Amino acid sequence: MSNIQAPQEFDVLIVGSGLAGLSAALHLAPTHRVAVLTKRGMSDGSSNWAQGGIAAVLGEGDTFDSHVDDTLVAGAGLSDPAATRFVVEHAPETIAWLRDMGVPFSQEDGHLHLTREGGHSARRIVHVTDATGAAVQRTMIEQVRKTPNITLLEHHTLVDLITGKKRGMPVNRCLGLYALDETTDEVLTFLAPHTILATGGAGKVYLYTTNPDTATGDGIAAAWRAGCRVTNMEFIQFHPTCLYHPHVKSFLITEAVRGEGGKLLLPDGTRFMPGHDARAELAPRDIVARAIDFEMKKHGLDCVLLDISHQPETFIKEHFPNIYAKCLELGIDITKQPIPVVPAAHYTCGGIHTDLSGRTDLMGLHAIGETAYTGLHGANRLASNSLVECMVFARSAATDIIATRLDRPPAVPAWDASRVTDADESVVISHNWDELRRFMWDYVGIVRTNKRLDRALHRIALLQSEIHEFYTNFHVSRDLLELRNLVQVAELIVRSAQARHESRGLHFSRDYPEMAPVAVPTTLVPPN
């Protein structure tokens, strides 16, 4: 596999085809030649799976201050007030932009139907029944495909960023990236003055997750290797209610089921959430997930039950048609029976450290969406704040890029694959992948201890040495690249968790069960 193709040059490279990446592409297309690289199909990322909706102050009596306060409360003192207000105040115009594009948001009596989710003090969730992400993504893909100046490159996996430092330049900046084209099995070179990482989160570092297979922390790992800080990686949100069924992988039961009156029950029908929090089922996700984890361990359960069957059948079918259909396929009629659920890794609250324009520590590199740490989510993400964050920061990053003129990158060497061979033992990759996800679930999950974190870090170091040998000596594959990134992200999660000597939000430590009086973000700085 020798790369003899000339570099492909664009004005902006965007890695990721979720709502963040596609929003940025649409904002930039009128003035810039944009390439969107995605490692599978256009709609295979997490955005397409988002069920609940998009939070925005649109209802009568609701206020920006209220949405800000709810976010700060959910963030357990770690949400940045300036970033929070920035997102909240730009959310309504984002909804208007999507409506102008043709997103078919659910209506009631001629107005947008607003639902309520855990942690929100008002109905402010705009949605498309229970498949909001898929509807927005579908509309946006249609728009992108007919927009000039946007080149879509599917089945292109990020290998690494190209930086001035790596090329021996006096000024360190992002020059572009190397990507594996799976259709030709070649590593191609892409150059641009500006690069945006919109690669999503890292849920696949855990055994149980609501995330698609693409959520392998590629952008976070690549930015770290390129010299960017990461912040708050210990805060992994576990969604309380993932469908528990042997024939289904990673099917989320949206927060809105609880927002519309769903009750969490033990197998004998006992409701348990009021004993854990006064807000009961509408408590923030970290509290609900820990409560379910506690009850499962206390009673030796494989799952708990989520019951919405007291609502009228027509109400359930109208509000949750996809959940109703999926469960019915599996023999569960949610109009008459409760849904078996378990917590699962859902959202990466930390990420690449950015400012309000999406700028990272590396000139010419922006990060937006779940891969970025903007300061919005703090120690726990408030439901339905993520999709709006994607689009608000996509616009601010695009605005910054349009206003910032950078020289075109100099020529760089093509990817050199002349000294590597084909891997003879691919089973090593699959074995290491399984081992990583299992010990991360056991040792770095909903409840943590110092001893568990030490064990995890020891295992990670062993895996890193094996993966480095593979990466150095064999042709790269998507599986190898994803494993390399997951192990790097796992190290960042564990090191961040070890640095936090308290329990706050999504990080709960048995060794430090109390919350510290002062909330301080955990920022890791890569070695020089």
Q: Where are the domains of the chain?
A: 17-53+129-235+349-528, 239-346
- Cite the active site residues: 285
pLDDT at 4 > cutoff 80: no
The model's pTM is 0.91
pLDDT for the residue numbered 47? 66
- Per-residue pLDDT, 92: 97
356 within 8 A of 374, measured Cβ to Cβ: yes
- For the chain, percent helix, then strand, then coil, each to nearest 5? 35, 20, 45
H-helix or E-strand containing 516? none
- Sorting pLDDT into bands at 50, 70 and 90, what band is 522? very high
305-347 per-position pLDDT tens digit: 999 999 999 999 999 999 999 999 999 999 999 999 999 999 9
List, for residues 435-479, the tens digit of each pLDDT value: 999 899 889 999 999 999 999 999 999 999 999 988 888 889 999
Q: Which helix (H) or strand (E) holds 110?
A: none
Q: What confidence tier does 50 reach under pLDDT thresholds 50, 70, 90?
A: low
Cβ neighbours for 113, distance < 8 A, ≥ 6 positions apart: 105, 106, 107, 127
With beta carbons less than 8 A apart as the criterion, state whether 74 and 255 touch: no
Determine the longest span between alpha carbons in the chain, in angstroms.
68
* pLDDT given for residue 358 in this prediction: 98
**pLDDT confidence of residue 425:** 64
- In which region does residue 358 sit, left (phi positive, over 0), alpha (psi from -120 to 50) or beta (all else)? left
- Written out in words, the top-level CATH class of the domain with range 17-53+129-235+349-528 is alpha beta
Q: In the 3-class helix/strand/coil scheme, how is 56-75 assigned residue by residue?
A: CCCCCCCCHHHHHHHHHHHC
pLDDT higher at 62 or 239: 62
pLDDT at 421: 77
E strand intervals along 462-518: none
- What's the distance, CA 526 to chain centroid? 22
Neighbouring-strand partners of residue 421: 474
Half-sphere exposure of 78 (CA within 13 A, CB side): 31
CA distance 287 to 238: 10
Mean pLDDT along residues 128-143: 89
pLDDT (tens digit per residue) in 346-385? 999 999 999 999 999 999 999 999 999 999 999 999 989 9
CB contact burial 203-235 (16+ within 10 A = b; e otherwise): bbbbbbbbbbebbbbbbbbbbbbbbbbbbbbbb
Phi, psi of 124 (to 5 degrees): -145, 20
Contact 342, 244 (CB under 8 A): yes
Report the SS3 class of residue 480.
Answer: helix
Question: What's the CATH number of domain 239-346, 1.10.3730.10, 1.10.275.10, 3.30.70.100, 3.90.700.10?
Answer: 3.90.700.10
**Mean pLDDT for all residues in the chain:** 93
Please provide residue 504's backbone torsions phi and psi, each rounded to the nearest 5 degrees.
Answer: -150, 130
205 closest CA partner among 180, 234, 228, 226: 234
